[in-house]
Amino acid sequence: MTTRRKVGRFVASLLILALGLCFLFPLYIMVANSLKNRAQLYADPVALPTTALWGNYTEAMEKMNFLRSFANSLLITIISVALIVFFSSMCAWMITRTGDRKSKGIYFLFVATMLIPFQTLMMPLVQMMKWSRQFLGIPVLNTYHGIVFLYIGFGMSMAVFLFSGFVKSIPISLEEAATLDGCSVWGVFWRVVFPMLTPTTMTVIILDIIWIWNDYLLPSLVLNNKALRTIPLSTSSFFGVFTIQWNQAMAGLTLAIIPVVIFYFSAQKYIIKGVTAGAVK
Amino acid sequence: MIPSKKRGNGWFNVFVLPALIIFSIVVLVPFVIGICYSFVSWDGLVMHKPQFVGMTNYAKLFHDARFGQSAIHTIQFTVVAVLAINILGLLLALMVTSSLKINAVARTMFFMPNLIGGLILGYIWRFILSDAFKAIGERTGMTSIFFNWLLDPHAALVSLVVVITWQMAGYVMIIYITGIQSVPDEVMEAAVIDGATGWKRFFRIELPLIMPSVTICTFYSLSNCFKIYDINLSLTGGGPGVSTEMFAMNIYNEIFSYNNYGYGQAKAIMFFLLVAAVSLTQVVLTKRKEVQL
């Protein structure tokens, strides 16, 4: 009985593993074909490459200006996420603890606007970016600060919503004790409250990294300058109007995915937790 | 009391205003400006003044054949994709919640595509479903399955369903796993003792208890499918012709390709109303079916 059960479990495990591998088959196709030449690629797209042509990768790196795009993506993502956490946690704590009509109104405003799709805002935003330069003398298009500012604005709703939910669940007594000990409001928040918010901070960080790193439409409207392109924008350089060189494109896409894979494996526990917490609330 | 309250108000502004101001400039102000733009006719050029046309843009929507087509395609796509994502996601979740050691690895694998952006996923699948499929078809002779899917209007729509299912099934799986794990063991044991088997146990007992997860997953997948843009752009580009041009892409093209800023914005406002209506009804409907233990 036990041996039979063991065999059964082993077979079930194998089946699940096989299914998992099938699920990732498209990624195998991508990597395998990134190392082939044109003839090999069209002869059999499923086969492993006979010899690995690493040259595809150097060409792809050059074409998409990989290091520069990677640096741009990293810079924009890190600064945006840090500032989203900074502003939204402060705001969420204050409006939740104050709890008067004004605060509730502000909270409602943040939450209700989560329903607005980006397409509804994109054209007016493009106009506003032009006006900002024309009338205020502040350039927004093709600037790092411009796109970071937009990400803070778009990230605020979700982050305030998540932080608010968590603040409600932590006891107010610690904050009162700190106030009695002479701590300023600023000090109470950063020394006492913010450390307690860590689980939600992690959730917000994870969700926003995934969103901003992969975002395409917003940067495509703000960053026209080639030197400022993020990774998703740079991958489109393989898909112009001419015939697509698929082996080179696959090398480029593999390069684009590598940072995501590294991030996934180094922070997997937090990612799964963050995604679950973000969805369930 | 008064000084502390005064100080409190100052701190309130310090904590709340930065967030509120940035949010207003990026979300609220464009939303209001967007509503205004939807009542004008304008080609987006600075030297041309926008003309006020009242409700004309909205009236035009109902006679726009291409917009109607894109509405039908978006609805078809969304219905099929939401079903596919949730059925596959739930099956995967049921599969990986047994006590096997391999499950942690399997979850990692199934969730993987979700972290890669829609644009890149679309490009990978574009290769598979067009050139790779064609090459395989020519090699094996199975041309009824392996042909260039992206050149056939129906197959191209199915392609979009395939790719978004591949991307999102792992995500909803994670949520379903949480739901399944929160069903108490005693309930399932009692069901077994009472003679509920296999499918009956699943549909009569487990499914009603994980209805909250179903609400979340349906809501999430519905709004994501309805708003699809990145995959649409990289996989089919709306083609062949305009046969897979979804709502979001239709709006983008109307504004930035055909320079109908006012009319395009009216579409965008309509899009918002639809997204809001669909999301809100869906939440109300599914909340009713939830069972409290």
pTM of the model: 0.91
Query: B229 contacts in A (CB within 8 Å)?
Result: 119, 216-217
Burial A258-276 (b: 16+ CB within 10 A, else e): eebeebbeebeeebbbbbb
Asked if B225 reaches chain A (Cβ–Cβ under 8 Å), the answer is no
Chosen from B101, B124, B145 to mutate, greatest number of chain A CBs within 10 A: B124
A49: helix, coil or strand?
Answer: coil
Would you list the domain boundaries of chain A?
Answer: 57-280
Would you list the domain boundaries of chain B?
Answer: 64-289
Query: B127 contacts in A (CB within 8 Å)?
Result: 29-30, 33, 45, 246, 249-250
Q: Which residue of A has its CA nearest to B5?
A: A98
Of B168, B112, B232, B119, the C-alpha closest to A229 is B119
Q: Is the dihedral of CA A74, A75, A81, A85 positive or negative?
A: positive
Q: For residues A230 and A213, what is the distance between their CA atoms, to the nearest angstrom?
A: 8
* Alpha-carbon gap: B79 to the closest alpha carbon of chain A (Å): 19
User: Could you report the per-residue pLDDT of A21-35, keeping only the tens digit for each?
Assistant: 999 999 999 999 999
Asked if B111 reaches chain A (Cβ–Cβ under 8 Å), the answer is yes
Establish whether the linkage from the previous residue to B240 is cis, with ω within 30° of 0.
yes
Q: Which residue of A has its CA nearest to B163?
A: A26
Which helix (H) or strand (E) segment is B40 a member of? strand B40-41
Q: For residues A83 and B207, what is the distance between their CA atoms, to the nearest angstrom?
A: 41
Give chain B's length. 293
Calculate Rg over the CA atoms of chain B: 24
The per-residue pLDDT string of chain A (281 residues; one tens digit each, 9 = 90 and over) reads: 578 888 888 888 899 999 999 999 999 999 999 999 988 888 888 888 888 889 999 999 999 999 999 999 999 999 999 999 999 999 999 999 998 999 999 999 999 898 899 999 999 999 999 999 989 999 999 999 999 999 999 999 999 999 999 999 888 998 999 989 888 999 999 999 999 999 999 999 999 999 999 999 999 999 989 899 999 999 988 987 778 889 999 999 999 999 999 999 998 888 888 888 877 65
Query: B181 contacts in A (CB within 8 Å)?
Result: none
Top pLDDT among B205 and A62 is at A62
User: Could you report the per-residue pLDDT of B68-103, keeping only the tens digit for each?
Assistant: 999 999 999 999 999 999 999 999 999 888 778 888
Of A113, A104, A144, the C-alpha closest to B30 is A113
Q: For residues B156 and B149, what is the distance between their CA atoms, to the nearest angstrom?
A: 6
Q: Which residue of B has its CA nearest to A263?
A: B115
- For residue B137 the two structure tokens come to 């078809």
- Taking a C-beta distance cutoff of 8 angstroms, is the pair A210, A73 a contact? no
First-to-last C-alpha distance (Å) of chain B = 47
Q: For residues A15 and B103, what is the distance between their CA atoms, to the nearest angstrom?
A: 11
How much is the pLDDT for B143? 84
**Count of CB atoms within 10 A of residue B28's CB?**
16
Q: For residues B204 and B57, what is the distance between their CA atoms, to the nearest angstrom?
A: 49
Q: Is the CB of B110 less than 8 angstroms away from the CB of A20? A: yes
Query: B30 contacts in A (CB within 8 Å)?
Result: 121, 124-125, 128
The runs of H, that is alpha helices, within chain B are 2-23, 29-37, 56-61, 65-95, 103-115, 118-127, 133-140, 153-181, 185-193, 198-200, 207-209, 211-226, 230-231, 247-252, 261-289
Residue B51: beta bridge partners? B41
- For residue A237 the two structure tokens come to 């350089």
Contacts of A162 (CB under 8 A, 6+ apart): A92, A200, A203, A204, A277, A278, A281
* Alpha-carbon gap: B18 to the closest alpha carbon of chain A (Å): 7
A231: helix, coil or strand?
Answer: helix
**CATH 3.10.620.30 given to domain B64-289:** no
Of B288, B74, B107, the C-alpha closest to B181 is B107
- Taking a C-beta distance cutoff of 8 angstroms, is the pair B63, A161 a contact? no
DSSP class per residue in B72-140: HHHHHHHHHHHHHHHHHHHHHHHHTTSS-TTHHHHHHHHHHHHHS-HHHHHHHHHHIIIIIHHHHHHHH
Q: Is the CB of B271 less than 8 angstroms away from the CB of A46? A: no
| CATH C-level class of A57-280 | mainly alpha
Of A257, A261, A259, A249, the C-alpha closest to A33 is A249
- Taking a C-beta distance cutoff of 8 angstroms, is the pair A264, A145 a contact? no
Asked if B103 reaches chain A (Cβ–Cβ under 8 Å), the answer is yes
Q: Which residue of A has its CA nearest to B217?
A: A279
Asked if B100 reaches chain A (Cβ–Cβ under 8 Å), the answer is yes
- Taking a C-beta distance cutoff of 8 angstroms, is the pair A198, A160 a contact? no
The answer to whether residue B4 scores a pLDDT higher than 90 is no
Q: A37: alpha, beta or left, given left = phi > 0 and alpha = psi -120 to 50?
A: beta
Calculate Rg over the CA atoms of chain A: 24
User: Could you report the per-residue pLDDT of B262-288, keeping only the tens digit for each?
Assistant: 999 999 999 999 999 987 887 777 666
Among partner residues B19, B261, B264, which is closest to A88 by beta-carbon distance? Answer: B19
Q: Is the CB of B102 less than 8 angstroms away from the CB of A263? A: no
Nearest-5° Cα angle at B284, B281 to B290: 140
**Count of CB atoms within 10 A of residue A217's CB?**
17
User: Could you report the per-residue pLDDT of B111-162, keeping only the tens digit for each?
Assistant: 999 999 899 999 999 999 998 999 899 888 888 889 999 999 999 999 999 9
